[in-house]
Structure 1
């Protein structure tokens, strides 16, 4: 079973849950592509990284996984795969959440220069869960609704909206777990 990113539900509001996420690491790639193409273009380098396209930077047995004879490590897949808008128009960051307990010192170094390891600080965030297709329209409608619900609850957004996909592409669209997540001020 795929490990899911941990969080604690703080409260429930009309249209969303307020969650506390612990600090965690992500492997991310920035791509210049449409909303729909971005995860497809970022998937290959991210999958290669967790599949062993990396260099171990810690002694054997000191990290979340043991290196093989080539000095690389396979990292377990986790959920969700996260997408957020990048710094430039038309750019997106696509992120694989690293397994709980991973640290910058124990994760292997990516071989591909496009893959970056980054720490996301602990945060309070509003999240709206839904099932359905991975379209810009579906995520956009939920993002707009979440923003309105957050404002109506008297909370102030503090970061970029994140689009989270929890399931593989072969899972029927009506059974997929998707979320829009919006960091808010403490």
Structure 2
């Protein structure tokens, strides 16, 4: 996944090489593995395997928060950790808006990097920046919808609405999380080739 990066981030040569095919939406990075349980047009119910995620919470408007969170997490995987280890980039990058107890959105956001499958909390490097935390997720179901092109707040709202309506007609899928954006490409990828998704964790009532 190719992104504009902070000048303070030492991006490994391997990641720079990966960025070249990224112009055309070709993904060389490891992707979080899953099995498709149901497919309905652009909407899928997926079963994701266990994951270890690096997460950071930031405050601000969507674009500024997205850039700040990405740079913090990119710094972590590119060596800003206690053992200076470089962790391969994976896709997608997940981002969600925090919801308070009153169920209203805030200007607080959580971004997550999914670490490669061979990393557990016990084996992943400890972040130097205390704002970054590591989390392990068990096997989980996700409802997703895919769409191409430039991702912005309007598109996120549009496709989140479509996924909400789809789930509302299928009450046997119970939402278990906030809606997340899942991005596979950076801003240098040609818009036609960009891949975006909206995710929400669900529970299936049998």
Normalised by the shorter chain, which TM-score bucket? 0.7 to 0.9
Tell me, yes or no, if structure 1 residue 38 matches structure 2 residue 55: no
Tell me, yes or no, if structure 1 residue 103 matches structure 2 residue 130: no
TM-score, length of structure 2 as denominator length? 0.79
Distance 2:78 2:170 in 1: 42
* Equivalent residue in structure 2 for 1:148, among 165, 171, 180: 165
Question: Displacement, 1:117?
Answer: 1.0
Report if the CA contact (8 A) 1:14-1:149 is conserved: no
Q: 1:17 corresponds to which residue?
A: 44
SS at match of 1:156: strand
Distance 2:96 2:156 in 1: 11
User: Which stretches in structure 1 are left out of the alignment for 5+ residues?
Assistant: 57-71
* Equivalent residue in structure 2 for 1:170, among 188, 192, 195: 188
Distance 2:57 2:170 in 1: 33
Tell me, yes or no, if structure 1 residue 77 matches structure 2 residue 104: no
Question: Displacement, 1:36?
Answer: 2.2
Question: Displacement, 1:15?
Answer: 4.5
SS at match of 2:62: coil
TM-align CA RMSD: 1.4
Q: 1:183 to 1:33 in 2, by over 3 A?
A: same
SS at match of 1:147: helix
Distance 1:115 1:91 in 2: 15
After superposition, the C-alpha distances for 1:15-64 in whole angstroms (9 at most, x for unaligned) are 511100112111111010122222101121111100111113xxxxxxxx
Distance 1:36 1:146 in 2: 23
Report if the CA contact (8 A) 1:15-1:149 is conserved: no
After TM superposition, where is structure 1 displaced by more than 4 Å over at least 4 residues in a row? none
Distance 1:123 1:30 in 2: 22
Question: Displacement, 1:163?
Answer: 0.5
